[in-house]
Structure 1
Amino acid sequence: MITFILNNKTIKTSEHSGMTLLDFVRYEQRLTGTKIGCREGDCGACTVLVGTLENDVINYQSITSCISPLGNAHGKHIVTVEGTNLKDKLTTAQEAMKANYATQCGFCTPGFVVALTGFALSHSEHNYNNALDAISGNICRCTGYKAIEKAAHQVVEKLEHQKQNSISWLVENDFIPAYFESIPKRLKDIEIADLNQLKGKYVAGGTDLYVQQADHLADNDVHLIAEKDYLKGIKIENGICTIGTNSTVSDLWNHTELNSYFPNLKKHLKLVSSEQIRNMASLGGNLVNASPIGDMTIFFLALNSDITIINEEHKERTIALKNFFQDYKTYDLKDGELIKAISFKLPTEHSFFNFEKVCKRTHLDIASVNSALSITVNNGTITDANVSIGGVAAIPKYLHDTSAFLAGKTLSSETILEANEILQKEISPISDVRGTSDYKRLLGRQLFFAHFTALFPKQFTLNDFVQHA
């Protein structure tokens, strides 16, 4: 029995756990403020909040309900736009949208309201940039986005007066209704048993699978693994970072110690989907989707990561991620096996990391080509290098020959230009909707050069390479 709190109501349902959360709230609960848009997680019309009880405190995050399995709501607090309403007046987010004329047809408005409410409930710093990140997965096609950005700014201005990040303050200042204060105790009082799932397709966040197979998954057995503790967590020990594959991009984003090792981590991760998707998509799912342009796969390939694989008998094996992918959508994973963890060496004072991505729009888009580089330089000599690139082969590509060539060479424009010649021999892009093969070769070259101009700006400019390439 799937049990959770939906707005102010406790739900117990025997509906299929593979059903989408969107269909449940609209068709079973008649909460039609949550809209059906793209059904691919891209437009944000279906945005809801998911509250998870952690150490007596509820952590709220926004997700797109159209690609989230109902079973993942088990034991959580789900909030739709109806659940944010006050009795006789508008909430702060609703009033901001109204005051700034940020609605026209109104179809997208509930999603924006929920996303801004989630921002107010979040533990992130309540500044304007973070507010824009919070609505990065919401699209409006008729009003003009500037009015919505002004509404977000109005919400931020009111939050600036917040004395403490508490539910009671948000209730007193009309961000959320008073019933939110009772939710932690109510969730604790619910007896949450594990869902009985002995078979079916493994599903974590579902953000890839539900885009492709939502109807199939709604009607067939699924084995939900998003709440499996042995697949969770980020551990840093003895210079090694180990990340459970149920971790999300947001978990990396919010990890203070990891950000200290990668100063530009949030800048890189902002190029990955939207906040709603970053909150729900698992890193393991990104790997096994095996997309040739999977952003986090390219990210971890350049870190020369290892992956730990576990089977149904809990026996484990470890392989290099660069050896995991075999052919298009084909990889070294047997029936009943899961990727348990990703591990990699953390950067040292002589190590540098960069991620680049080109797509048709800056945010919330699939890459035409993406690339990452980790490099160690001592006294002007490259002692280690790992280069990855996506969109130019049938698999997410670790550039074995290019990486090997760089190791031991002097860090110079001549070395980089020679390395690009090897890179061009290692890739085999095809023409498709994301660009011609020639265009992708050009992007591969430019992104490779961009790594060095970004990491060593005093030593290189793009002109150092382009005029000779």
Structure 2
Amino acid sequence: MITFILNNKTIKTPEHSGMTLLDFVRYEQRLTGTKIGCREGDCGACTALVGTLKNNTIQYQSITSCISPLGNAHGKHIVTVEGTNLKNKLTAAQEAMKANYATQCGFCTPGFVVALTGFALSNSENNYNNALDAISGNICRCTGYKSIEKAAYQVVEKLEGQEKNSLKWLIENGFIPEYFESIPQRLKAIEVKDLNQPKGKYVSGGTDLYVQQADHLADNSVHLIAEKDYLKGISIVNNVCTIGTNSTVSDLWNHSEINNHFLNLKKHLKLVSSEQIRNMASFGGNLANASPIGDMTIFFLALNSTITISNENEKERILPLKDFYQGYKTYDLNDGELLKTISFKLPTKQSFFNFEKVCKRTHLDIASVNSAIHLFVENNVISEAHVSIGGVAAIPKYLHDTSSFLKGKTLTTETILEANEVLQNEISPISDVRGTSDYKRLLGRQLFFAHFIELFPKQFTLNDFVQHA
């Protein structure tokens, strides 16, 4: 029996674990403020909050409920726009939208309100940029974003002086209703047992599978693994980072030690989907999706990562990620096996990492071409190099030849130009909706140059490569 708290109501339902949270909320509970838009997690009209109890406190994150399986709500607090309402007045987020004329047709408004409420409840620093990140997955087709951005700014201003993690402060200042204060104790009181799940399709966050197969998964057996503890967590031992495949981009984003090693980590991760998707999509799902343009796959390939694969008998094998992919959407994973962990050496003072992506809009878009690089440089000589690129082959591509060519070379403009020639021979882009093959070759070259301009700004400038453009 799936058990959770929906707004201020405890739910116990025998409904199928594979149905979407959105459909349950709208059709079973008649909470129609949560809208159906794209059903692909792209528009944010269905945004809901998920509260998870950890160490006697509750942490809230925004998600897109249209691609989230109902079973993942088990043991959580789910908040829809109806659950943010106050009795006799508008909430701070609602008032900000109203005061700044940030709505016209109103279809997208509930999603924005919930996302901004989630920002107020989050542990992120109360600044304007973080507020905009919170609504990066919400699309409005008629209001224009300036008025919505002003509403976000008003929320930030009102949050000044907030006691961090204080539900009481947020209640007193009109951000959330009073019942929120009782939720931690009510979640503790719920006896949450593992769902009795039949064998079926493995599903973690569901952000890829539910875009493609939502109707199928709603009617067939699914095996939800998002809450499996052995697939969770991030650890660092002897400068090697090991990430459980149930971890999300947000887990990486919020990890302070990893941010110390990747100085531009949040800048890079901001290019990956939107905050709602970053909160729910698993790394294991991204790797197993095997998309030729999977952002985090390209990220981990450049780190020369290894993956641990576990079967039903808990027998494990370790494989270099660059050897995992065999062809378009095919990989070295047998029936009954799961990706368990991803491991890689963290960048050091002698190494340099960068990630680049070109897509048609800033947030929540699929890359035309993406690329990452990790270089080890001593005395201006490249002692080790790992380069990856997406969108230019049938698989997420680790550039074996280009990486080998760079190793041992002096870091000069000539070396980079020669390496680009190797790169061009190593890729085989095709023309599709994301661009022609020639355009993708151009992007591959420009992103490769961009890595060096970004990592070594005192040594290389755009002018060094302009004559070869």
Q: Same fold (TM over 0.5)?
A: yes
Match of 2:323 in 1: 323
2:304 is the counterpart of 1:304: yes
Following TM superposition, where does structure 1 have runs of at least 4 consecutive aligned residues deviating by more than 4 angstroms? Answer: none
Letter in 2 for 1:129: N
Letter in 2 for 1:159: L
Match of 2:413 in 1: 413
CA distance in 2, matches of 1:372, 1:468: 21
Task: Tell me by how many angstroms 1:348 deviates.
Answer: 1.3
SS state at 1:297 partner: helix
Matches within 5 A, 1:271-420: 271-420=271-420
CA distance in 1, matches of 2:348, 2:131: 33
**Cα deviation 1:334-385 (Å, max 9, x = unaligned):** 0000000000001111100000000111111000000000001000100000
Letter in 2 for 1:355: F
Letter in 2 for 1:382: I
Match of 2:121 in 1: 121
Letter in 1 for 2:150: K
SS state at 2:448 partner: helix
SS state at 2:279 partner: helix
8 A contact 2:401–2:423 mirrored in 1: yes
**Cα deviation 1:159-198 (Å, max 9, x = unaligned):** 0122443000000000000000000000000000100113
CA distance in 2, matches of 1:248, 1:325: 21
Matches within 5 A, 1:9-158: 9-158=9-158
CA distance in 2, matches of 1:342, 1:48: 29
Matches within 5 A, 1:212-231: 212-231=212-231
CA distance in 2, matches of 1:207, 1:198: 21
**Cα deviation 1:98-155 (Å, max 9, x = unaligned):** 0000010000000000000000000010100000000000000101110000000000
CA distance in 2, matches of 1:242, 1:88: 49
Task: Tell me by how many angstroms 1:461 deviates.
Answer: 1.1
CA distance in 2, matches of 1:68, 1:289: 16
Letter in 1 for 2:363: H
Q: TM-score, normalised by structure 2?
A: 0.99
Identity of aligned residues (%): 85
CA distance in 1, matches of 2:324, 2:466: 34
Match of 2:176 in 1: 176
SS state at 2:438 partner: helix
8 A contact 2:123–2:164 mirrored in 1: no
**Cα deviation 1:297-322 (Å, max 9, x = unaligned):** 00000000000000000000000000
CA distance in 1, matches of 2:127, 2:165: 13
Task: Tell me by how many angstroms 1:465 deviates.
Answer: 1.9
CA distance in 1, matches of 2:420, 2:42: 35
Q: How many residues are matched? A: 469
8 A contact 2:97–2:103 mirrored in 1: yes
Q: TM-score, normalised by structure 1?
A: 0.99
8 A contact 2:18–2:222 mirrored in 1: yes
Matches within 5 A, 1:151-300: 151-300=151-300
CA distance in 1, matches of 2:243, 2:358: 26
The answer to which of 157-166 and 120-129 deviates more is 157-166
* Structure 1 gap ranges (5+): none
Task: Tell me by how many angstroms 1:415 deviates.
Answer: 0.4
Match of 1:457 in 2: 457
CA distance in 1, matches of 2:385, 2:20: 43
Letter in 1 for 2:306: D
**Cα deviation 1:3-34 (Å, max 9, x = unaligned):** 00000000000000000000000000000000
Letter in 2 for 1:421: E
CA distance in 1, matches of 2:333, 2:86: 50
Letter in 1 for 2:143: T
Letter in 2 for 1:331: Y
Letter in 1 for 2:271: L
* Structure 2 gap ranges (5+): none
CA distance in 1, matches of 2:163, 2:120: 13
Match of 2:6 in 1: 6
Taking a change above 3 Å as real, the CA distance of residues 192 and 165 of structure 1, as seen in their structure-2 partners, is closer
SS state at 2:312 partner: coil
CA distance in 2, matches of 1:434, 1:24: 35
The answer to which of 157-166 and 128-137 deviates more is 157-166
SS state at 1:389 partner: strand
**Cα deviation 1:68-108 (Å, max 9, x = unaligned):** 00000000000000000000100000000000000100000
Match of 2:440 in 1: 440
Letter in 2 for 1:77: H
8 A contact 2:198–2:221 mirrored in 1: no
**Cα deviation 1:212-264 (Å, max 9, x = unaligned):** 00000000000000000000000001010000000000000000000000000
Letter in 2 for 1:308: T
**Cα deviation 1:378-418 (Å, max 9, x = unaligned):** 00100000000000000000000000000000000000000
Letter in 1 for 2:413: S
SS state at 1:280 partner: coil
Task: Tell me by how many angstroms 1:467 deviates.
Answer: 1.0
- Aligned-pair Cα RMSD in Å: 0.6
CA distance in 1, matches of 2:4, 2:198: 21
**Cα deviation 1:425-448 (Å, max 9, x = unaligned):** 000000000000000000000000
Letter in 1 for 2:148: I
